[in-house]
Amino acid sequence: MSTSVRHLTAAAVLLAALLTFSPAHAQTRDGGWDDASTGTAIAAAATSVLMPRVFYSNPEATVGWKARWHVSALAPALSTVAIGFLNEATLKPAFADPSPCVGCGFGLLSTQAYVATAAVGQGVGVFLLDTLKYSGGNFHFGSFAGQVLVPLALAGVTAGGRIASNEESPEQVLGSAGVGLASGLVFGLVYGAMQAPNCGYSGDLICW
């Protein structure tokens, strides 16, 4: 066998080995991204509870921007969390792929992506009602940042982290994000329509 043929054979064997090894390596779980994406999903859900309702009060005696914290914001947030727990405990294992990668299984929804984007949807719904219905169309950047931009940034990191960790497929993460955004928007609009941002005549900062 000539030297050139031996070199070509060795190169082909090396290339085959690399191609065989790369997919297995690419599909190994990344625990760091797993933990980070879980943390950002929790932070997004917390933002939807802790962010105050900001509105422009127009009566003559109390004209100006007001902010009120609502305990009732737990209702839509806990609805999202309940669906997340249902998915994690029941739906995801039932639909899991038995061997998509080393040490993990793809299920139905990505719980983290769903929870994080649901917080975005809830924030958008609440912001729209607080701006258009309760503030007469007056725009408040602080409300927009807290209700929309912050959870949107956290949801983006969550989705990227789920894909990078190889816990779920990109299609699964994007589909879960779409479902979360839609359901969160519904929760936010229903909640915002049922609960006005002010605390009635008490003037309290925290509304029950």
Local structure of 101: helix, strand or coil: strand
* pLDDT single digits (tens) 117-167: 999 999 999 999 999 999 999 999 999 999 999 999 999 999 999 999 887
Local structure of 97: helix, strand or coil: coil
Confidence band for 204, pLDDT divided at 50, 70 and 90: confident
State the amino acid at position 46 in one-letter form: A
Q: Is the pLDDT of residue 19 over 50?
A: no
**Bigger pLDDT: 160 vs 202:** 160
Contact residues for 105 (Cβ-Cβ < 8 A; gap 6+): 93, 96, 97, 98, 99
Q: How far apart are CA 57 and CA 197, in angstroms?
A: 10
**Bigger pLDDT: 93 vs 157:** 157
Q: Residue 166: what pLDDT?
A: 81
Buried b (16+ CB within 10 A) or exposed e, 1-38: eeeeeeeeeeeeeeeeeeeeeeeeeeeeeeeebbebbb
State the amino acid at position 63 in one-letter form: V
Question: Are the C-beta atoms of residues 147 and 127 closer than 8 Å to each other?
Answer: yes
* pLDDT single digits (tens) 40-68: 999 999 999 999 999 998 765 577 899 99
Q: Residue 181: what pLDDT?
A: 97
The pTM assigned to this predicted structure is: 0.79
